[in-house]
Structure 1
Amino acid sequence: MVEFTVIGPLITLLGLAMLQYGLLYFTKNQHNHASFMAARAGSTGHADIGTIENAYARALVPLYGGGTDPAKLEASYQRALADVKAQSRIELLNPTSESYRDFNSPLLQARYNLPDSKHVIPNSGQALRPASVISPLSGQNIQDANLLKLRITTGYRPQVPLVGAMYANYLKWADDGTSTARTALLVAGRIPVVMHVTVQMQSDAIEGPTVTFPGMGNGGNPTDPGMPPGPTSPPSACATALCTQPPSDPAPTPTDPGGLCPNGYCEVCPKTVPVTTTLPGDINFAFGQSTLTAAGMQQLDALIVSARAGNYAAVAITGYTDQIGSAAENLALSQARAQTVRQYLIAHGLTDRPITATGAGATNLKVELAQCSGKTGAALQACLADNRRVEVTLIP
């Protein structure tokens, strides 16, 4: 009986840990399959982010109840799609914005009836196109530009008692805070699950929300980035052995023997600092436009989660532009973009604190014009991309 009393809880905990890991492994496999289905749909659907998102949600229907008739299947699909929109982040890593500028086909732009701001990468005749021609803006050849690369980050809510909380608490401690989306998932009690998938394009890629990645990575010399940085702070104290509850506050001790503070205690508040998030302009807005892209909405959704989780009294939004165009035009564009972000935050539930929006035009520059000497057109736009941004500051 003594031996069982000692070893029984350990065996139970080990069994629960194996069960939780098995559930997480199964979920990861299902999301891996969904990611490939999403990439396949994107490869035949002109790299459209909406097509990719819908295919990803359709492939997750079994995880959300499935069904034996069309009505039940549709209900499961709607649950999956709502969770994907709320908790998942789909990033189109390739083609990059530089790829679209390098390999744009004006003939296809006209055929698809697209504006000048939406570029098209041709998919036909890949075997006949020279692979040795590397474009300096993207550091790619035409075959590289016809690869569809996705990174999908989603959040798994642990289901097993005790062990699920241990998983989540450990990951919160290990989080380095470099990813707003990852931190938001951890705050929401979910375990981040990341999928990468690469497929060959089977249709002409039409520009949408994508990342900017100029030139050849690491100067064309692959390097091992090494292990990611680990936590620098000690783990937080816990009230239980399994760290499922935070500790209760200990009874305060008098800090004012002279009697100058009420009840003998002098409260000292820690110094709080504002937290600023920079939203790159080319990802959140098309060049010269003030309408949010799908990628911009995803970044703002993650920011809303962070703002709700923290104790912030106000939000300040500042828009910036590059030096292309007149000062009056840039000031108006920066104000319009800041106002668009403000309206989105309010429309999606961030209404319990004041939100200000300011346009600063081409000020507080990250890249000076002298650094882009000799560049014009798309090359100049890419060089000045860091100046086009919106900064959102959460004020404690």
Structure 2
Amino acid sequence: MNRRPQSAQAMVEFLIIIPVLILLIFGAAQAALIYSAKNGLNYATFQAARLGAMNHAQYSDMRRGLTRGMYPMFSQYPQQDRMQHTASEVDNFILITRISPDQASFGAFAEASDALGVDAIPNDNLMFRSTQQSPVSIQDANLLKIRVQYCMRLIVPMVEHILSSASRFNADQTVGSFSEVSKLSADYSSVCAARNGFIITSEATVRMQSAAINDADYCSTGARMRCP
């Protein structure tokens, strides 16, 4: 009996299936790396919010917290170069959005502070202050909430182009389609610059431990922070 037709059919099926199988394996590997990076970013975002809450919600201190928190994510680099690389990632591929307190809260509650020399949202005696909302209460204005968007570099071949294109489409559609969400998100090019990466996002909320100072002037200079 001639078995050549059956053998040829098996080869054709193999050639059709193997690229899909390889793509699935590579995709699973990259997904595991993204999951690990998301966990690391969650920790780093909390560290950024914690330091920001203790230091008047200033970007420089939130950046310091992010750098500390993301340091373990780059253990593949030599120890003497790891901190420099982490700082470079934070400065070039991280965008912080200060969701709360927003500009309206500063306009409603900020007052002159002799100790700080600038206007700040009071952080003392909150339980005795009015709970009137204007547009939120002063108690809610003392919640520091930040959103951190990180453009993660994709290293697995083949799937990097697919995932970076999907991330670009998702980021641009989110900003373009929903006005409220666009205040809290940024388009792909704002986060990733020239990198073909995948945007991962994390949020953290911490009660302010110091009087919040409006960092809007710093936001307007093109730094890696947005102040809706």
TM-score, scaled to structure 2? 0.79
Q: For residue 186 of structure 1, report the CA deviation from its aligned partner.
A: 7.0
In structure 2, C-alpha distance between the alignment counterparts of 1:203 and 1:173, rounded to whole Å: 39
Number of the residue aligned with 2:55: 45
In structure 2, relative to structure 1, the CA distance for the partners of 1:25 and 1:203 (3 Å cut) is same
Q: 1:162 aligns with which of 158, 182, 198?
A: 158
Question: Is the aligned partner of 1:98 residue 2:96?
Answer: no
Alignment of 1:139-158 (within 5 A): 139-158=135-154
Number of the residue aligned with 2:222: 297
Q: 2:17 aligns with which of 4, 7, 22?
A: 7
Q: Deviations over 1:147-206 (max 9, x none)?
A: 101111120111110011111133345533747642342752111222222111112212
Q: Kindly, what percent of the aligned residue pairs are identical?
A: 27
Alignment of 1:97-116 (within 5 A): 97-106=103-112, 109-112=113-116, 114=117
In structure 2, C-alpha distance between the alignment counterparts of 1:63 and 1:102, rounded to whole Å: 40
CA contact (8 A) 1:38 1:55 kept: yes
CA contact (8 A) 1:47 1:148 kept: yes
SS in 1 for 2:196: coil
Q: Deviations over 1:7-57 (max 9, x none)?
A: 333222211111111111111111111001100111111111100011101
Alignment of 1:171-186 (within 5 A): 171-173=167-169, 175-176=172-173, 178=176, 181-184=187-190, 185=192
Number of the residue aligned with 2:204: 197
Number of the residue aligned with 1:363: none
Number of the residue aligned with 2:122: 122
In structure 2, C-alpha distance between the alignment counterparts of 1:26 and 1:193, rounded to whole Å: 11
In structure 1, C-alpha distance between the alignment counterparts of 2:211 and 2:76, rounded to whole Å: 33
Q: For residue 81 of structure 1, report the CA deviation from its aligned partner.
A: 1.2
Letter in 2 for 1:189: N
CA contact (8 A) 1:168 1:186 kept: no
SS in 2 for 1:39: helix
Q: For residue 66 of structure 1, report the CA deviation from its aligned partner.
A: 7.1
Q: For residue 91 of structure 1, report the CA deviation from its aligned partner.
A: 1.9
In structure 2, relative to structure 1, the CA distance for the partners of 1:59 and 1:173 (3 Å cut) is closer
Q: For residue 101 of structure 1, report the CA deviation from its aligned partner.
A: 2.8
Alignment of 1:153-302 (within 5 A): 153-173=149-169, 175-176=172-173, 178=176, 181-184=187-190, 185=192, 188-209=195-216, 285=217, 293-298=218-223
Alignment of 1:1-80 (within 5 A): 2=11, 3-65=13-75, 72=79, 75-80=81-86
SS in 2 for 1:194: strand
Backbone CA RMSD of aligned residues: 2.5
SS in 2 for 1:198: strand
- Structure 2 stretches lacking a partner, 5+ long: 1-9, 177-184
In structure 1, C-alpha distance between the alignment counterparts of 2:141 and 2:187, rounded to whole Å: 27
In structure 2, C-alpha distance between the alignment counterparts of 1:123 and 1:96, rounded to whole Å: 16
SS in 1 for 2:157: coil
Deviating beyond 6 angstroms after TM superposition, the runs of 4 or more aligned structure 1 residues are: none
Q: For residue 78 of structure 1, report the CA deviation from its aligned partner.
A: 2.0
Greater share of residues in helix = 2
- Structure 1 stretches lacking a partner, 5+ long: 210-284, 286-292, 302-396
SS in 2 for 1:110: coil
Question: Is the aligned partner of 1:82 residue 2:7?
Answer: no
In structure 2, relative to structure 1, the CA distance for the partners of 1:186 and 1:162 (3 Å cut) is farther
In structure 2, C-alpha distance between the alignment counterparts of 1:67 and 1:180, rounded to whole Å: 29
SS in 1 for 2:205: strand
SS in 1 for 2:47: helix
Letter in 1 for 2:98: L
CA contact (8 A) 2:26 2:156 kept: yes
CA contact (8 A) 2:167 2:188 kept: no
Higher Cα Rg: structure 1 or 2? 1
Identify which of structures 1 and 2 has the higher relative contact order when contacts are C-alpha pairs closer than 8 Å and 6+ apart: 2
